[in-house]
Amino acid sequence: MTNETAPRTRLRLGIIGYGAQGSLYAKFIADGLVPNTVIGAIADTDPAKAEAAGAAHPGVALFADAVSMMDSGQVDAVVTCVPHFLHPQLGIEALSRGLHALVEKPAGVYTKQVEQLNAVAAAHPELTFGIMFNQRNNPLYIRLKEIVDSGEIGDVLRSNWIITNWWRPQGYYDQSAWRATWGGEGGGVLVNQAPHQLDLWQWICGVPRSVFSKVAYGFARNIAVEDEVTVLADFGGGRTGVFVTATHDLVGTDRFEIQGSQGKIVVEDSAVATVTRLVKPERELSESMAMDDVVRLFTGQLDTSELYTTETLRFDSPWGAQHSGVLANFAANVLDGTPLLAPGADGIIGVRLANAIHLSSWRGQEVGLDFDQEEFLDELNARIANEGIFPPQNI
Protein backbone atom coordinates (compact mmCIF):
# COMPACT_ATOMS: atom_id res chain seq x y z
CA MET A 1 0.00 0.00 0.00
CA THR A 2 1.49 3.33 -1.03
CA ASN A 3 1.52 6.43 1.08
CA GLU A 4 -0.19 9.08 -1.06
CA THR A 5 0.90 11.84 1.30
CA ALA A 6 4.61 11.08 0.95
CA PRO A 7 6.52 14.05 -0.47
CA ARG A 8 7.66 13.92 -4.07
CA THR A 9 11.34 13.32 -4.62
CA ARG A 10 11.31 14.61 -8.20
CA LEU A 11 9.49 17.52 -9.79
CA ARG A 12 7.31 16.84 -12.83
CA LEU A 13 8.19 19.75 -15.11
CA GLY A 14 6.01 20.76 -18.04
CA ILE A 15 7.97 22.35 -20.88
CA ILE A 16 6.02 24.98 -22.82
CA GLY A 17 7.57 25.36 -26.25
CA TYR A 18 9.89 22.81 -27.84
CA GLY A 19 12.16 25.25 -29.65
CA ALA A 20 15.84 25.91 -28.99
CA GLN A 21 15.51 26.42 -25.23
CA GLY A 22 12.70 23.96 -24.55
CA SER A 23 14.44 21.14 -26.37
CA LEU A 24 17.69 21.98 -24.56
CA TYR A 25 16.06 21.78 -21.14
CA ALA A 26 14.36 18.52 -22.08
CA LYS A 27 17.73 17.08 -23.08
CA PHE A 28 19.36 18.23 -19.84
CA ILE A 29 16.64 16.46 -17.85
CA ALA A 30 16.68 13.33 -20.00
CA ASP A 31 20.49 13.16 -19.73
CA GLY A 32 20.34 13.25 -15.94
CA LEU A 33 21.80 16.72 -15.46
CA VAL A 34 18.76 17.69 -13.37
CA PRO A 35 18.38 14.62 -11.12
CA ASN A 36 15.51 16.01 -9.04
CA THR A 37 13.33 16.64 -12.12
CA VAL A 38 11.50 14.57 -14.72
CA ILE A 39 9.80 15.73 -17.91
CA GLY A 40 6.14 15.64 -16.97
CA ALA A 41 4.86 16.76 -20.38
CA ILE A 42 5.71 18.94 -23.37
CA ALA A 43 3.39 21.44 -25.07
CA ASP A 44 3.88 23.11 -28.45
CA THR A 45 1.38 24.62 -30.87
CA ASP A 46 3.56 23.63 -33.84
CA PRO A 47 2.77 20.02 -34.87
CA ALA A 48 6.25 19.58 -36.32
CA LYS A 49 7.91 20.53 -33.04
CA ALA A 50 5.52 18.32 -31.10
CA GLU A 51 6.44 15.45 -33.39
CA ALA A 52 10.14 16.15 -32.81
CA ALA A 53 9.54 16.17 -29.05
CA GLY A 54 7.77 12.82 -29.24
CA ALA A 55 10.60 11.31 -31.24
CA ALA A 56 13.25 12.57 -28.83
CA HIS A 57 11.34 11.73 -25.66
CA PRO A 58 9.12 8.69 -26.26
CA GLY A 59 6.55 8.11 -23.56
CA VAL A 60 6.35 11.77 -22.51
CA ALA A 61 2.85 13.22 -22.76
CA LEU A 62 2.44 15.79 -25.56
CA PHE A 63 -0.07 18.64 -25.73
CA ALA A 64 -1.06 21.04 -28.49
CA ASP A 65 -1.34 23.99 -26.12
CA ALA A 66 0.00 25.04 -22.74
CA VAL A 67 -3.32 25.35 -20.91
CA SER A 68 -4.33 21.78 -21.77
CA MET A 69 -1.04 20.57 -20.38
CA MET A 70 -1.50 22.63 -17.20
CA ASP A 71 -4.98 21.18 -16.69
CA SER A 72 -3.87 17.59 -17.33
CA GLY A 73 -2.66 16.82 -13.82
CA GLN A 74 0.61 15.50 -15.26
CA VAL A 75 2.83 18.40 -14.23
CA ASP A 76 3.72 20.11 -10.96
CA ALA A 77 5.42 23.09 -12.59
CA VAL A 78 6.10 24.69 -15.97
CA VAL A 79 8.94 26.47 -17.71
CA THR A 80 7.98 29.04 -20.38
CA CYS A 81 10.18 28.61 -23.47
CA VAL A 82 8.09 30.87 -25.72
CA PRO A 83 8.33 34.41 -27.20
CA HIS A 84 8.90 37.16 -24.64
CA PHE A 85 5.43 38.69 -24.69
CA LEU A 86 3.95 35.35 -23.54
CA HIS A 87 6.11 34.84 -20.46
CA PRO A 88 3.88 36.82 -18.05
CA GLN A 89 0.63 35.42 -19.48
CA LEU A 90 1.71 31.80 -19.18
CA GLY A 91 3.28 32.39 -15.79
CA ILE A 92 -0.05 33.74 -14.56
CA GLU A 93 -1.94 30.81 -16.09
CA ALA A 94 0.30 28.37 -14.25
CA LEU A 95 0.30 30.08 -10.86
CA SER A 96 -3.48 30.57 -11.01
CA ARG A 97 -3.81 26.79 -11.40
CA GLY A 98 -1.63 26.02 -8.41
CA LEU A 99 1.43 25.16 -10.50
CA HIS A 100 4.95 26.39 -9.82
CA ALA A 101 6.36 28.62 -12.57
CA LEU A 102 9.85 29.17 -13.98
CA VAL A 103 9.81 31.91 -16.61
CA GLU A 104 12.48 32.40 -19.22
CA LYS A 105 14.32 35.72 -19.46
CA PRO A 106 13.20 38.39 -19.89
CA ALA A 107 10.24 38.20 -17.50
CA GLY A 108 8.28 40.15 -20.11
CA VAL A 109 8.65 43.02 -22.52
CA TYR A 110 7.22 45.87 -20.45
CA THR A 111 6.81 46.46 -16.73
CA LYS A 112 3.03 46.68 -16.67
CA GLN A 113 2.57 43.05 -17.72
CA VAL A 114 5.38 41.87 -15.43
CA GLU A 115 3.80 43.68 -12.48
CA GLN A 116 0.65 41.62 -13.03
CA LEU A 117 2.70 38.42 -13.04
CA ASN A 118 4.46 39.44 -9.82
CA ALA A 119 1.14 40.31 -8.19
CA VAL A 120 -0.29 36.86 -8.94
CA ALA A 121 2.89 35.23 -7.64
CA ALA A 122 2.72 37.30 -4.45
CA ALA A 123 -0.87 36.13 -3.94
CA HIS A 124 0.39 32.52 -4.03
CA PRO A 125 3.38 32.44 -1.66
CA GLU A 126 2.98 28.67 -1.34
CA LEU A 127 4.12 28.34 -4.98
CA THR A 128 7.65 28.65 -6.33
CA PHE A 129 8.20 31.45 -8.84
CA GLY A 130 11.60 31.64 -10.51
CA ILE A 131 13.30 33.12 -13.55
CA MET A 132 15.98 31.62 -15.78
CA PHE A 133 18.82 34.01 -14.93
CA ASN A 134 21.40 31.29 -15.44
CA GLN A 135 24.31 33.73 -15.13
CA ARG A 136 23.44 34.07 -11.44
CA ASN A 137 24.56 30.46 -11.28
CA ASN A 138 27.95 31.33 -12.79
CA PRO A 139 30.48 30.77 -9.96
CA LEU A 140 32.54 33.73 -11.14
CA TYR A 141 29.70 36.21 -10.80
CA ILE A 142 28.56 34.64 -7.53
CA ARG A 143 32.04 35.31 -6.11
CA LEU A 144 32.19 38.84 -7.48
CA LYS A 145 28.85 39.68 -5.88
CA GLU A 146 30.19 38.36 -2.57
CA ILE A 147 33.26 40.60 -2.90
CA VAL A 148 31.21 43.69 -3.69
CA ASP A 149 28.54 43.01 -1.05
CA SER A 150 31.16 42.44 1.64
CA GLY A 151 32.75 45.83 0.96
CA GLU A 152 36.14 44.37 -0.02
CA ILE A 153 36.58 47.01 -2.73
CA GLY A 154 34.68 49.71 -0.83
CA ASP A 155 31.74 51.57 -2.29
CA VAL A 156 31.04 51.09 -6.00
CA LEU A 157 31.84 54.42 -7.66
CA ARG A 158 31.70 53.51 -11.34
CA SER A 159 30.89 50.47 -13.46
CA ASN A 160 31.34 49.87 -17.16
CA TRP A 161 30.22 46.89 -19.22
CA ILE A 162 31.00 46.51 -22.91
CA ILE A 163 29.19 43.41 -24.12
CA THR A 164 29.27 43.37 -27.92
CA ASN A 165 29.97 39.70 -28.62
CA TRP A 166 26.37 39.10 -29.71
CA TRP A 167 27.19 39.09 -33.43
CA ARG A 168 24.11 38.11 -35.43
CA PRO A 169 24.15 38.01 -39.27
CA GLN A 170 21.14 39.18 -41.25
CA GLY A 171 20.02 35.58 -41.80
CA TYR A 172 19.45 35.20 -38.09
CA TYR A 173 16.83 37.95 -38.20
CA ASP A 174 15.29 36.72 -41.46
CA GLN A 175 14.56 33.22 -40.14
CA SER A 176 11.09 34.10 -38.83
CA ALA A 177 8.54 36.88 -39.19
CA TRP A 178 8.40 37.71 -35.47
CA ARG A 179 12.15 37.98 -34.92
CA ALA A 180 13.50 41.53 -34.35
CA THR A 181 10.06 43.15 -34.54
CA TRP A 182 8.30 45.37 -32.02
CA GLY A 183 5.13 43.32 -32.11
CA GLY A 184 6.69 39.87 -32.17
CA GLU A 185 9.76 40.23 -29.97
CA GLY A 186 9.32 43.60 -28.28
CA GLY A 187 12.78 44.89 -29.09
CA GLY A 188 16.24 43.81 -30.13
CA VAL A 189 19.47 43.27 -28.23
CA LEU A 190 18.04 44.67 -24.99
CA VAL A 191 15.28 42.05 -24.77
CA ASN A 192 16.93 39.18 -26.64
CA GLN A 193 20.67 38.94 -26.01
CA ALA A 194 21.56 41.32 -23.16
CA PRO A 195 18.97 40.71 -20.38
CA HIS A 196 21.45 38.52 -18.49
CA GLN A 197 24.03 41.32 -18.36
CA LEU A 198 21.41 43.93 -17.44
CA ASP A 199 20.41 41.65 -14.57
CA LEU A 200 23.99 41.01 -13.42
CA TRP A 201 24.84 44.71 -13.65
CA GLN A 202 22.12 45.73 -11.21
CA TRP A 203 22.48 42.52 -9.12
CA ILE A 204 26.12 43.31 -8.39
CA CYS A 205 26.33 47.11 -8.63
CA GLY A 206 22.82 48.18 -7.60
CA VAL A 207 19.83 49.59 -9.48
CA PRO A 208 20.42 52.97 -11.18
CA ARG A 209 18.14 55.92 -10.52
CA SER A 210 18.06 57.11 -14.12
CA VAL A 211 19.53 56.49 -17.57
CA PHE A 212 20.41 58.52 -20.64
CA SER A 213 20.78 56.43 -23.76
CA LYS A 214 21.77 56.68 -27.40
CA VAL A 215 20.16 53.79 -29.25
CA ALA A 216 20.34 53.01 -32.95
CA TYR A 217 17.49 51.07 -34.57
CA GLY A 218 18.41 49.06 -37.64
CA PHE A 219 21.90 50.56 -37.43
CA ALA A 220 23.80 47.74 -39.13
CA ARG A 221 21.01 45.27 -39.85
CA ASN A 222 17.78 45.45 -41.82
CA ILE A 223 15.55 45.35 -38.73
CA ALA A 224 13.17 47.71 -36.95
CA VAL A 225 14.52 47.25 -33.43
CA GLU A 226 17.76 48.18 -31.68
CA ASP A 227 21.10 46.66 -32.61
CA GLU A 228 23.40 49.31 -31.07
CA VAL A 229 23.01 50.67 -27.52
CA THR A 230 25.06 53.03 -25.34
CA VAL A 231 23.77 53.90 -21.87
CA LEU A 232 24.97 56.32 -19.20
CA ALA A 233 23.43 55.44 -15.84
CA ASP A 234 23.18 57.56 -12.70
CA PHE A 235 23.27 55.54 -9.47
CA GLY A 236 23.07 58.61 -7.24
CA GLY A 237 25.74 60.21 -5.06
CA GLY A 238 28.02 60.82 -8.03
CA ARG A 239 28.14 57.11 -8.89
CA THR A 240 27.82 56.33 -12.58
CA GLY A 241 27.80 53.42 -14.99
CA VAL A 242 28.11 52.82 -18.72
CA PHE A 243 26.58 49.91 -20.63
CA VAL A 244 27.35 49.25 -24.31
CA THR A 245 25.93 46.41 -26.35
CA ALA A 246 25.49 45.59 -30.05
CA THR A 247 24.85 42.71 -32.45
CA HIS A 248 27.06 43.75 -35.39
CA ASP A 249 30.57 43.40 -33.94
CA LEU A 250 32.04 40.30 -35.57
CA VAL A 251 34.93 40.22 -33.09
CA GLY A 252 33.07 41.40 -30.02
CA THR A 253 34.18 42.47 -26.54
CA ASP A 254 32.99 41.31 -23.13
CA ARG A 255 34.66 43.49 -20.48
CA PHE A 256 33.09 44.44 -17.15
CA GLU A 257 34.84 46.90 -14.81
CA ILE A 258 33.76 47.84 -11.31
CA GLN A 259 35.66 50.71 -9.71
CA GLY A 260 35.36 50.90 -5.94
CA SER A 261 36.60 53.34 -3.35
CA GLN A 262 39.05 50.71 -2.10
CA GLY A 263 39.69 48.50 -5.11
CA LYS A 264 38.69 47.42 -8.57
CA ILE A 265 37.36 44.40 -10.45
CA VAL A 266 38.00 43.75 -14.15
CA VAL A 267 36.23 40.81 -15.82
CA GLU A 268 37.27 39.59 -19.27
CA ASP A 269 35.02 37.36 -21.37
CA SER A 270 32.90 36.44 -18.34
CA ALA A 271 35.66 33.94 -17.52
CA VAL A 272 38.55 35.63 -15.72
CA ALA A 273 38.43 38.41 -13.14
CA THR A 274 41.26 40.49 -11.72
CA VAL A 275 40.47 41.83 -8.26
CA THR A 276 42.59 44.65 -6.86
CA ARG A 277 42.20 45.47 -3.18
CA LEU A 278 43.75 48.67 -1.83
CA VAL A 279 45.29 48.56 1.63
CA LYS A 280 43.27 51.66 2.52
CA PRO A 281 40.52 53.64 0.80
CA GLU A 282 41.94 55.53 -2.19
CA ARG A 283 41.22 58.93 -0.62
CA GLU A 284 43.26 58.02 2.46
CA LEU A 285 46.16 56.84 0.31
CA SER A 286 46.00 60.03 -1.72
CA GLU A 287 45.96 62.33 1.29
CA SER A 288 48.74 60.48 3.15
CA MET A 289 51.24 60.08 0.28
CA ALA A 290 54.24 62.39 0.49
CA MET A 291 55.75 63.91 -2.64
CA ASP A 292 58.83 61.70 -2.50
CA ASP A 293 56.55 58.63 -2.55
CA VAL A 294 54.71 60.12 -5.53
CA VAL A 295 58.02 60.45 -7.38
CA ARG A 296 58.94 56.86 -6.49
CA LEU A 297 55.53 55.70 -7.74
CA PHE A 298 55.82 57.58 -11.05
CA THR A 299 59.34 56.25 -11.65
CA GLY A 300 58.43 52.67 -10.82
CA GLN A 301 60.51 52.52 -7.65
CA LEU A 302 57.67 52.18 -5.15
CA ASP A 303 56.72 48.68 -4.03
CA THR A 304 53.06 48.52 -5.07
CA SER A 305 52.35 45.84 -2.47
CA GLU A 306 52.44 48.72 -0.02
CA LEU A 307 49.35 50.06 -1.82
CA TYR A 308 47.37 47.09 -3.09
CA THR A 309 47.15 43.36 -3.68
CA THR A 310 45.94 41.62 -6.83
CA GLU A 311 44.05 38.35 -7.18
CA THR A 312 43.05 36.51 -10.35
CA LEU A 313 39.84 34.48 -10.27
CA ARG A 314 38.99 31.66 -12.65
CA PHE A 315 36.16 29.18 -12.30
CA ASP A 316 35.20 26.24 -14.45
CA SER A 317 31.64 26.50 -15.73
CA PRO A 318 30.97 23.53 -18.05
CA TRP A 319 28.53 24.09 -20.89
CA GLY A 320 25.00 23.51 -19.71
CA ALA A 321 25.86 23.58 -16.01
CA GLN A 322 24.42 27.04 -15.44
CA HIS A 323 21.02 26.33 -17.01
CA SER A 324 20.71 22.85 -15.55
CA GLY A 325 21.77 24.26 -12.17
CA VAL A 326 18.92 26.78 -12.22
CA LEU A 327 16.48 24.03 -13.16
CA ALA A 328 17.74 21.87 -10.29
CA ASN A 329 17.65 24.78 -7.85
CA PHE A 330 14.08 25.61 -8.88
CA ALA A 331 13.03 22.02 -8.28
CA ALA A 332 14.87 21.93 -4.94
CA ASN A 333 12.97 25.02 -3.79
CA VAL A 334 9.71 23.25 -4.58
CA LEU A 335 10.75 19.96 -2.99
CA ASP A 336 12.59 21.05 0.15
CA GLY A 337 12.64 24.85 0.33
CA THR A 338 16.20 25.40 -0.87
CA PRO A 339 16.57 29.19 -1.45
CA LEU A 340 16.14 30.29 -5.06
CA LEU A 341 19.14 31.51 -7.02
CA ALA A 342 16.89 33.75 -9.09
CA PRO A 343 13.49 34.64 -7.59
CA GLY A 344 10.94 35.39 -10.28
CA ALA A 345 10.03 38.75 -8.75
CA ASP A 346 13.54 40.00 -9.59
CA GLY A 347 12.76 39.78 -13.31
CA ILE A 348 10.98 43.12 -13.36
CA ILE A 349 14.18 45.00 -12.50
CA GLY A 350 15.90 44.22 -15.80
CA VAL A 351 12.68 44.80 -17.75
CA ARG A 352 12.29 48.22 -16.11
CA LEU A 353 15.90 49.07 -16.95
CA ALA A 354 15.46 48.05 -20.60
CA ASN A 355 12.19 50.02 -20.82
CA ALA A 356 13.89 53.13 -19.41
CA ILE A 357 16.72 52.80 -21.94
CA HIS A 358 14.25 52.56 -24.81
CA LEU A 359 12.17 55.47 -23.50
CA SER A 360 15.25 57.66 -23.03
CA SER A 361 16.24 57.14 -26.65
CA TRP A 362 12.69 57.84 -27.86
CA ARG A 363 12.44 61.01 -25.78
CA GLY A 364 16.04 62.10 -26.32
CA GLN A 365 16.46 62.85 -22.62
CA GLU A 366 17.36 61.31 -19.28
CA VAL A 367 14.67 59.01 -17.88
CA GLY A 368 14.19 57.95 -14.28
CA LEU A 369 13.52 54.33 -13.40
CA ASP A 370 10.16 55.56 -12.07
CA PHE A 371 8.98 56.44 -15.61
CA ASP A 372 5.32 56.45 -16.63
CA GLN A 373 4.46 52.85 -17.61
CA GLU A 374 1.47 53.95 -19.68
CA GLU A 375 3.66 56.29 -21.71
CA PHE A 376 6.08 53.47 -22.44
CA LEU A 377 3.27 51.14 -23.53
CA ASP A 378 1.79 53.86 -25.75
CA GLU A 379 5.19 54.38 -27.41
CA LEU A 380 5.66 50.63 -27.87
CA ASN A 381 2.19 50.21 -29.35
CA ALA A 382 2.81 53.07 -31.77
CA ARG A 383 5.80 51.15 -33.11
CA ILE A 384 3.82 47.91 -33.26
CA ALA A 385 1.06 49.68 -35.20
CA ASN A 386 3.60 51.19 -37.59
CA GLU A 387 4.91 47.70 -38.39
CA GLY A 388 1.38 46.55 -39.19
CA ILE A 389 2.20 42.88 -38.48
CA PHE A 390 1.02 42.18 -34.93
CA PRO A 391 -1.85 43.52 -32.79
CA PRO A 392 -1.09 46.07 -30.06
CA GLN A 393 -0.51 45.10 -26.46
CA ASN A 394 -3.49 45.93 -24.27
CA ILE A 395 -2.50 44.89 -20.75
Over residues 52-75, the pLDDT tens digits come to 999 999 999 999 999 999 999 999
pLDDT (0 to 100) of residue 7: 66
User: Which pLDDT does position 1 carry in this prediction?
Assistant: 34
Q: Is residue 177 predicted with pLDDT exceeding 90?
A: no
State the pLDDT confidence band at 6, using cuts at 50, 70 and 90: low
Q: What is the pLDDT of residue 134?
A: 94
- Residues 270 and 353: their CA atoms lie apart, in Å, by 21
Burial class (CB in 10 A: 0-12, 13-18, 19+), 354: buried
Residue 238 has pLDDT above 70, yes or no: yes
Query: Quick one: pLDDT at residue 302?
Result: 85
pLDDT at position 233 is 98
Q: What is the pLDDT of residues 244-284, one digit of tens each?
A: 999 999 999 999 999 999 999 999 999 999 999 999 999 99
Q: What is the pLDDT of residues 356-378, one digit of tens each?
A: 999 999 999 999 999 999 999 99
Q: What percent of the chain has pLDDT over 90?
A: 91
Average pLDDT of the chain is 95
Buried b or exposed e, range 75-89, using 16+ CB within 10 angstroms: bbbbbbbbbbbbbbb
The per-residue pLDDT for 184 is 94
Phi, psi of 15, deg, nearest 5 = -100, 120
Q: Which of 302, 394, 363 is nearest to 116 (CA)?
A: 394
Q: Averaged over 148-170, what is the pLDDT?
A: 98
CA dihedral 299, 304, 308, 310 (to 10 degrees): 110
How confident is the model over 302-317, as pLDDT tens digits?
Answer: 888 989 999 999 998 7
pLDDT digits (tens, 9 = 90+) for 333-350: 999 999 999 999 999 999
CA angle 105, 106, 109 (to 5 degrees): 155
User: What's residue 2's pLDDT?
Assistant: 38
Look at residue 319 and tell me whether its pLDDT is greater than 90: no
Domains of the chain by start residue, with CATH = 11-133+321-343 (3.40.50.720), 136-318+349-387 (3.30.360.10)
Q: Is the Cβ–Cβ distance between 137 and 322 less than 8 Å?
A: yes
Determine if the peptide bond prior to 106 is cis (ω within 30°): yes
Given this model, what pLDDT does residue 237 score? 96
